[in-house]
Amino acid sequence: MCESGFVASSNSAPGTLERTDEELDLTPRHSLETPWRTIVWNDPVNLMSYVVYVFRSYFGFSREKATQLMLQVHHEGRAIVATGTREAMEAHVHAMHGYGLSATVDRAEK
Amino acid sequence: MTRVRRSDGELTVTISDNEFITLSRLEADLLGALADRLTAVADGVAGVDRMFPDAYRDDAEAAAEFHSLTDVDLVTAKSEAARSVMTAFVGAEAQASGSLWRRSASRTITADADLSLALMRNLTDLRLMIADRLGIESDDDDGSGGDTGDRIVYWWLGETQERLVTALAADAFGAGDR
């Protein structure tokens, strides 16, 4: 992701993001009812603040969770942002593409 | 430089006349690229495009099917966003400021929630389009293509996007919650 470090007036510079102590459980659920997941991938264009904004406004995540997921995308290249039915995950992916984020659907590993 | 201000749940965005001219060109380029995508989809030759990522990484058939089901919708949404942004700025009266000899003009739009969202998505699409010209492929990659103008525009759009997101986040989630 693009850090947009040259924005002096920004309050959302990466250095000011707070890490929370709680570990986020991102383990996909393996039940037969929810074998699909939505993955958001890192891209070099989208701003970190924008990705956090999208996660918060679309998924309704807290600031902490949205920030954790954004950082995971940034550092690890991807993050699982939802699990559920294939139909629901495809709707999420379509929405993410609408926001200009790179997202994919796949089947959670057994 | 673009100004973004927030008051009473509304955003005002002010751009200079030069920025307005640049934006108009970019939107025309974007609408052209989106129209080309529609043609490519219809002809079954749509290739890899940052604005239209694959929804399946390891399943080419599923990825192609997803494109066939969603690309037209994405083109429509992206085109509508571009048009509503242009309509807003075209409709905004150019205001002169400065002294007689150093006169400059600017345009200010007031954006409700819908227009703010359209602007944010549209700036993203414009940045994706220019990142392609610049050949930006990874984080910390400035790209090797494009020209100086593209580089300046890419920086400007990013700066504007950052300000817009900051203002919208403060609006949506509370001023103290950043």
Report the domain count for chain B. 1
* Span B72-93, average pLDDT: 96
Domain contains B178: no
**Domains plus CATH for chain A?**
29-107 (3.30.1390.10)
Distance of alpha carbon B92 from alpha carbon B48, whole angstroms: 37
Please give the ipTM for the structure prediction.
Answer: 0.91
Give the SS3 label for residue B97: strand
**Per mean pLDDT, which range of B65-79, B88-102, B145-159 is the poorest?**
B88-102
* Tens-place pLDDT, residues B88-146: 999 998 888 766 666 778 999 999 999 999 999 999 999 999 999 999 988 878 788 88
Domain that holds residue B75: 3-168
Is residue A29 within 8 A of residue A93, CB to CB? The reply is no
Asked whether residue A35 carries a pLDDT value surpassing 90, the answer given is no
Share of chain B above pLDDT 70, in %: 94
Distance of alpha carbon B151 from alpha carbon B129, whole angstroms: 12
Domain contains B47: yes
B141 vs A contacts (CB less than 8 Å):
44
Tell me if chain A has a CB within 8 Å of the CB of B19.
no
Report residue A9's pLDDT band, with 50, 70 and 90 as the boundaries: very low
A91: tokens are 């709707």
Is residue B160 within 8 A of residue B123, CB to CB? The reply is yes
Domain contains B176: no
Tell me if chain A has a CB within 8 Å of the CB of B139.
yes
Asked whether residue A24 carries a pLDDT value surpassing 70, the answer given is no
Q: Where are the alpha helices (DSSP H) in B47-139?
A: 60-91, 113-134
Tell me if chain A has a CB within 8 Å of the CB of B155.
yes
pLDDT of A22 reads 55
B172 vs A contacts (CB less than 8 Å):
53, 56-57
Domain contains B177: no
| Closest CB to B159 among A7, A52, A103 | A7
Please give, rounded to a whole number of angstroms, the shortest distance from the CA of A10 to a CA of chain B.
Answer: 7
With residues binned 3-state (H G I as helix, E B as strand, rest as coil), the percentages for chain B, rounded to 5, are 60, 15, 25
Identify which has the larger pLDDT, B35 or B172: B35
